[in-house]
Amino acid sequence: MVKVILDADDFGMSEAINHGIIKSYTDGITTSTLLMPNLEAARHAACLAKNYPDLFVGQHTNFLLGKPCANPKDIPSLVDENGEFHRSAYYRSNPGFTFCYDDVRTETLAQMERFKELIGHYPEHMDCHSIGDEVVDQVFYDLSLEMNVHVTLKYSGDKKWPENKRYKPITKLLESGALPYISNGVSVRNFLNDDFKLLDLAQDEIAEMHFDVGYLDQFVLDNSSYTLLRCKELETICSPLVKKWFTNNQIELITFADLKE
C-alpha cells in the first residue's frame, strides 16, 4: 500500500494558524505538524497539541522570522542589528549568502531545547522553514546521526545524502508552495486529478507532503506572503472528497513516527 505523510507546516506561527492546523487534523487528513519553537505563539500551539496526543509534532526550524532561541551574539550571521532573524528581503538582496555551519548548529540546538521545553521531549523529526542551503542540510544531517532525529534535507540540489538506515526512505517530497503547477493554492481538483502523481508510486513507497493550512490574523498578514491561500488549503485538506479519494485509492496516511525501522 502506498503511504503518505501529510504535514501542516508553521505550527506556532500565530494563534490563527494554530487553530487552523488543529482543524486540519480533527476534520481533515493532516497526520503531522511542524512547530516553529522560537515564536511567541509556539506555546499556544503546544498547549493545543496536548489535547491531541496522536497528532505528531516535529520541529520546523526557523531562521527567518522573529527572535532566535540562542543568544544573538552567538549567531551573528543569522541576525540583524536588533538581534532578530534576517527576513526574506535580506537574502534576496544577498544572493551569494552562504550559511555559517556553527551559527546554524547553535541555533538549531537551541530550538531543539525550546521544543523540548514546550512539548516535553526532543523532536523526532526536523526540517527547515523556507530558507536554507547545503550548509543547513549538513547541520541537519550531522544532528540526525548524533541525536537520532529524522530530518528532511531539501536545500542541496541534486546531491544525494547517505540514507539513515534507522528510517524508511522517503520516495517523493512535495511542498505545495514550491510546486510549479500549484499557483493558486492546493485545490480538491489537484487530488482528484492526481496532480501529485501519488498513484504512480509503487507499493510501500512513501510520499512526504507539506501544506500551509490555517486561518489568518494580523500577525500572518504582517509577516507572511502566503495568506489567503492558507485558508484555501485548509478547506481542501478538510474536504470529504479528498478523504474519499485517499480511501478509494487505498493510500495509507502515516506520520513521521512510522518511519522508524
Q: What domain range is 87 assigned to?
A: 3-259
The pLDDT tens digits of the residues spanning 192-242 come to 999 999 999 999 999 999 999 999 999 999 999 999 999 999 999 999 999
The pLDDT tens digits of the residues spanning 72-124 come to 999 999 999 999 999 999 999 999 999 999 999 999 999 999 999 999 999 99
Whole-number average pLDDT of the chain = 96
Mean pLDDT of the region 35-39: 99
Q: What angle, 0 to 180 degrees and rounded to 10, lies between the N-to-C axes of helices 42-49 and 101-119?
A: 40
- Tally the domains of the chain: 1
pTM of the model: 0.96
CATH code, domain carrying 215: 3.20.20.370
Please, what's the b/e burial string for 44-69 (b: 16 or more CB within 10 A of its CB; e: otherwise)? bbbebbeeeeebbbbbbbbbbbbebb
Side chain identity at residue 112, one-letter code: M
Residue 161, pLDDT score: 95
